[in-house]
Amino acid sequence: MDSILIRGGTPLHGEIPIAGAKNACLALMPATLLSEEPLTLTNVPRLSDIKTMSLLLQSLGVEVSALQDGKVVAMSSHGLASSCADYDIVRKMRASNLVLGPLLAREGQAVVSLPGGCAIGARPMDIHVEALEALGAEIELRDGYLHAVAKSGLKGAIVPLRFASVGATENTLMAATLARGTTVIENAAREPEIVDLATCLRKMGARIEGDGTSRIEIEGVDRLTGATHPVIADRIELGTYMLAPAITGGEVECIGGRLDLVESFAEKLDAAEISVEQTQRGVKVSRRNGRIGAVDVATAPFPGFPTDLQAQMMALLCTAEGVSHLEETIFENRFMHAPELTRMGAEIEVHGGTATVTGVERLKGAPVMATDLRASVSLILAGLAAEGETLVSRVYHLDRGYEHVEEKLSAVGARIERVAAT
C-alpha cells in the first residue's frame, strides 16, 4: 500500500484548483437510473469512490463512459440488467446505498446490501427505510440485504425525517420524482450537494421546490429525460486546502472555491486569526498574526460546521495558542486521528464526543497511520506544519476523496511525495 512522505515546515504560496464535489457526484450518478435517456456529468473529480460508483452502476446494466481523462462521465440507463446492489461493492462505499431510491422508483423493486460497519460509526439505514416506506415501499431485511418492492408504484406522501440525514434526503428526493402525486420531505438535509442534485433533477424534468431548506416539495412526473450537468465545487476539498496555508503560513488561493458554501467553517478560521477572502477566482487564505488562536468547534448539519472538516480543523488547532474544544455531534467515533496526531507531539484528550486540544508550539514528524478519508488528510496537514519527516501510511483512504493531493500541494511549495508500496 502506498504512503505519503512529507518534509514539513515550508510556508505555502500559490494556487490550488478545487475539483468537483465527491459527495455531490456520488448522489448525481445514481440519478441516471431514473431515466432511459443519457445523463452526462462534467467537472467530475478523479477519485476511486467515483470508480466504485461507476462499477456499481455498470453491474446494474448502466453504460458508463469516462471521457476527457475522467472529468466527464456519460451514463445511459436505457436497459437495466439488474436491480441488485451487491455486498462486494456496497461494503467498499456507503454511498452505494443511493441506488435504492432510484431503482425502486424506476423498476418498482430493489435489493441493496446493507453497507455494514464503517470506521467512523454504525451508520445505519433506518431513516432511508422509513422514508421509502412512507412512499409506499415494502422493505424487508433478509441475508444482510434490504429487499424493497413497490408493487403498485410509489405514491407521494408527507415524509418527516427523524434526523436530517443527507443520504436519506437524497434517496427520498430521487424516489419521489417518479412517485404519483406530491411528496413533502420535512426536516430535510440542507447540504449544497442536495441543492446540486435537485438542480440536475429539474434539468431532467423533475418538479422540485424548496431544496436548500428543510422542507422540500416534489410533484411526481411520469418520466424524466436526459441532461448534462456540471458537478458543484467540493466545499470539503476547499476547506481542507484553506487549512494548508493556515497551518504552514504563506498565502494560497483556492481556485473555484465558494466561501458561501463554507461560512461556518470560515468564521472559525477568522476567530483563529486566519484571514479568508472571496476573490473573483476563488478563496484566498493566509495567516494573520504569528500564532493561531484557539477556538471551540461543534459539528452540525449544514449550514453548521461540517463533520467532514473536523479532523482537519483539529490538525490546525494542535499548534494554536491556548485550549480548543472540538465536539463531534454527527458520528459517534470520529476522533481516530487524535491518537495519530498525539504521536506527532499534539496534546489531545478525548472524552466521549469532545476532544480537548492544548496547543503546542510545534508538531514533530512521525510515522502515522490513516484510518479514514478525512483523518488521512488531517495527518497530511499536520505533517506540512511539523518539524522533520512524517510518513502517512494506508493512504488508499485518501485516494477515495482527494484527487492528486501530492501534485496540488507540491505546486504551492510543499515537500510531499508518494512512496509506492514495495
Residue 6 or 98 with smaller CB distance to ligand UD1? 98
Q: Does 168 bind ligand UD1 (CB under 6 A)?
A: yes
Q: Does 224 bind ligand UD1 (CB under 6 A)?
A: no
Examine the residue annotation and report whether 200 is marked as an active-site residue of this protein: no
Selected from 116, 121, 160, 181, the binder of ligand UD1 by CB under 6 A is: 121
Residue nearest to ligand UD1 (CB): 167
Residue 12 or 50 with smaller CB distance to ligand UD1? 50
Selected from 75, 90, 100, 127, the binder of ligand UD1 by CB under 6 A is: 127
Residue 179 or 311 with smaller CB distance to ligand UD1? 311
Binding mask 301-330 for ligand UD1 (x = CB under 6 A): ------xx---------------------x
Binding region for ligand UD1 (CB under 6 A) out of 59-67, 161-169, 319-327, 356-364: 161-169
Binding mask 174-193 for ligand UD1 (x = CB under 6 A): -------------------x
Q: Does 128 bind ligand UD1 (CB under 6 A)?
A: yes
Selected from 94, 229, 235, 400, the binder of ligand UD1 by CB under 6 A is: 94
Residue 49 or 406 with smaller CB distance to ligand UD1? 49
Binding region for ligand UD1 (CB under 6 A) out of 12-20, 71-79, 165-173, 414-422: 165-173
Q: Does 139 bind ligand UD1 (CB under 6 A)?
A: no
What is the rounded CA–CA span in Å between residue 90 and residue 173? 21
Q: Which of 118, 200, 254, 318 is catalytic?
A: 118
CB of 50 to ligand UD1, least distance (A): 11
Selected from 167, 192, 239, 359, the binder of ligand UD1 by CB under 6 A is: 167
**Which residues lie near ligand UD1 (CB under 6 A)?**
23, 26, 94-95, 121-128, 163, 165-168, 193, 307-308, 330-331
| Residues recognised as catalytic | 118
